[in-house]
Amino acid sequence: MKVRVYFFPILILIIASCCNKKTQVREPSSPPMPAASMAKLVEPREGETFRCGDSIRIRLQIDKDSLAQVDSVVIFSRPEDRQVFSPGFENLRWKSAGARVGKNILKINLYSNGRKETHTVVLTLLSELVPAVYHYRVIRQYPHDENAWTQGLFYDKGMLYESTGLEGKSSLRIVSIKTGVPVRRIDLEKQFFAEGIALFRDQVFQITWKTQVGFIYDKETLDLIRRFDYPIKEGWGLTAGNNKLIMSDGSARLYFLEPEYFTQTDQIEVFDHKGMVTYLNELEYINGKVLANIWYKSIIVVIDPGTGKVTGQIDLEKLIPEEYKEDSNKVLNGIAYNPKNGHIYITGKNWPKLYELEISPSL
């Protein structure tokens, strides 16, 4: 009986104690209220189009009820075009002369006593340049293998290197210019659709269309050195310049890859004074410029790889055989440069001829 007499009160005390603890639990504190916005971005509006070189007005509506006092404003699309402004925000203008063409994410940072507020707006910049018109003169014509679905082309020490496409028919060739006959050739495995090629540090780099696999070959023997993977979904054209590989994917973009691990280090969009230039295909780097075939067109465009601006164009309509003009499989494709005389070699898919051209003004 003693056990029952003393146990019951103790049990009540324990239960009461637990209940008291539950009733004493504090409600979580409310999160602090966010600081009031310092300003509202009024201009420019999202998606507006301007030209490189335009002085673009930045209009901010400063919140008068905010306790923050804006000390300075920093505006940039890339670190290279960073512009700093002190008070006097009625006349804020971003000078776009140093920007790239295409879509620019403009950032406007407001600072106040150590506090930072960021506004962003996406703008499109067209080139301010009307592309120069380059003229050409045919110096010589050479035979070209009509079975060669030309995807990539470059010149080195008197020989042409040519990449040909199509699954089951892709190859890499060293070709005699005078005869058009390969002096050395290797065929790719059937699952690969070969695309552009480039010469870099005495090695030949070749990419493929949709497999995201590339190959590096010995320049003299075409022996395979190694394979590599790259992040671009489609490989079209390839060239090398300024210690980088430059790749196209059929869009308006050019991608820059470092040639050791093939990571993408940069990209640009290509625009002229009218708009975006798409279907960039075979590429050739010449004296700091990138020349690109436009798929399905007779035009080669000259691109500034630093800004994406089209600075010139070469219209080769008269070189296209009349019977090929309505054949979508026999388009202009292939640009190679001879640095000794400044001439370029051009051909097309399944064309019977290769043309050596003198360009004026010189590239």
SS3 label, residue 150: strand
Give yes or no: residues 308 and 166 share one domain.
yes
For residues 328 and 279, the answer to whether their CB atoms sit within 8 Å is: no
Residue given tokens 């690969």 in the structure block? 192
pLDDT of residue 29: 57
pLDDT of residue 8: 38
Is the pLDDT at 10 greater than 70? The verdict is no
Amino acid at 54: D
Average pLDDT, the chain: 88
Is the pLDDT at 254 greater than 70? The verdict is yes
The answer to whether residue 22 sits within a structural domain is no
Give yes or no: residues 255 and 278 share one domain.
yes
Q: What is the pTM of this model?
A: 0.85
Give yes or no: residues 171 and 289 share one domain.
yes
pLDDT digits (tens, 9 = 90+) for 96-120: 998 999 999 999 998 888 889 899 9
Is the pLDDT at 270 greater than 80? The verdict is yes
Q: The CATH number of the domain where 262 resides is what?
A: 2.130.10.10
Note the Cα 166 to chain centre separation in Å: 25
| Lowest model confidence (mean pLDDT) among 34-43, 109-118, 268-277, 313-322 | 34-43
The answer to whether residue 15 sits within a structural domain is no
Q: The CATH number of the domain where 67 resides is what?
A: 2.60.40.10
| Lowest model confidence (mean pLDDT) among 13-22, 138-147, 164-173, 201-210 | 13-22
The answer to whether residue 298 sits within a structural domain is yes
Is the pLDDT at 86 greater than 80? The verdict is no
How many beta carbons lie within 10 A of that of residue 192, not counting itself?
A: 21
> In this structure, are strands 115-126 and 49-51 parallel, antiparallel, or unpaired?
parallel
pLDDT of residue 127: 97
For residues 164 and 170, the answer to whether their CB atoms sit within 8 Å is: yes
Both tokens of 158, joined, read 């008197």
Give yes or no: residues 148 and 57 share one domain.
no
For residues 175 and 181, the answer to whether their CB atoms sit within 8 Å is: yes
The answer to whether residue 29 sits within a structural domain is no
Q: What's the rounded mean pLDDT across residues 116-134?
A: 95
Distance CA 157, CA 153 (A): 14
Give yes or no: residues 338 and 189 share one domain.
yes
| Parent domain of 339 | 132-360
Q: Which one of 67, 102, 126 terminates a domain?
A: 126
- Which has more pLDDT, 27 or 238? 238
Give yes or no: residues 146 and 121 share one domain.
no
Q: What's the rounded mean pLDDT across residues 251-265?
A: 95
Amino acid at 77: S
Number of structural domains in the chain:
2
